[in-house]
Structure 1
Amino acid sequence: MDTLTSLGSENSVVIFSKTNCCMSHAIETLIRGYGANPFVYKLDQLPNGLQMEKAILALGCNPSVPAVFVDKEFIGGSNEIMSLNIRGMLKPLLIKANAIWV
């Protein structure tokens, strides 16, 4: 869990994903569409990816990917990110985190 939190705070936007997950790709594309440059960890390509996936599940993110951290805070998975976007709250969140500028 400490590794996950540490990695989640290394950039203004961090996404934990898997190479074969279409929702991970969709969330990454959405966030990049605002001009942000998220740091993406592909769990299936990391030696400790399975342990990290278990830690993500322990955070309450089910399914485990995508899992998104913004401004060092765990935001959630695809449902939470899409909900923020629909309510017009994703862009202000990215601005506040200095991931994008207006």
Structure 2
Amino acid sequence: MDMVMKLGAASPVVIFTKSSCCISHSITTLFCSFGINPTIYELDKLSNGKQIEKALIELGCQPSVPAIFIGNEFVGGANEIMSLNVRGQLKQLFKG
């Protein structure tokens, strides 16, 4: 789990994903529409991807991807991001 937290804190916005996950792609596209260029870790392309995925599940990510960190904080998955966006609160997180 320490590795996940370290990677999540390495950039202002981090998305853990899998290359085949269309929801992750949609979240990335949403962030880009705000002018945010997130750091993306595709778990199926990383040698330690299975370990990272296990740690994300331990963090409470169900499903494991997408998992989003903003400003060194774990925000959640697609449901949390879309909920924040619908309420107009997502953009504010990027300014923090």
Give the distance between the partners of 1:36 and 1:95, measured in 2 at CA: 11
SS of 2:93's equivalent?
helix
CA drift of 1:4 comes to: 0.4
Unaligned runs of 5+ in 2: none
Give the distance between the partners of 2:24 and 2:63, measured in 1 at CA: 11
Unaligned runs of 5+ in 1: 97-102
Determine the structure 1 residue equivalent to 2:14.
14
* % same residue: 56
SS of 2:37's equivalent?
coil
Where does structure 1 differ by over 2 angstroms across 4 or more consecutive aligned residues? none
SS of 2:61's equivalent?
coil
Give the distance between the partners of 2:9 and 2:87, measured in 1 at CA: 25
For the aligned residue pairs, the C-alpha RMSD in angstroms reads: 0.4
TM-score scaled by structure 1? 0.93
Kindly provide the CA deviation profile for residues 48-74 of structure 1, in whole angstroms up to 9, marking residues without a partner as x.
000100100111110000000000000
Kindly provide the CA deviation profile for residues 12-37 of structure 1, in whole angstroms up to 9, marking residues without a partner as x.
00000000000000001101110001
Determine the structure 2 residue equivalent to 1:79.
79
Aligned residues: 96
Determine the structure 1 residue equivalent to 2:28.
28
TM-score scaled by structure 2? 0.99
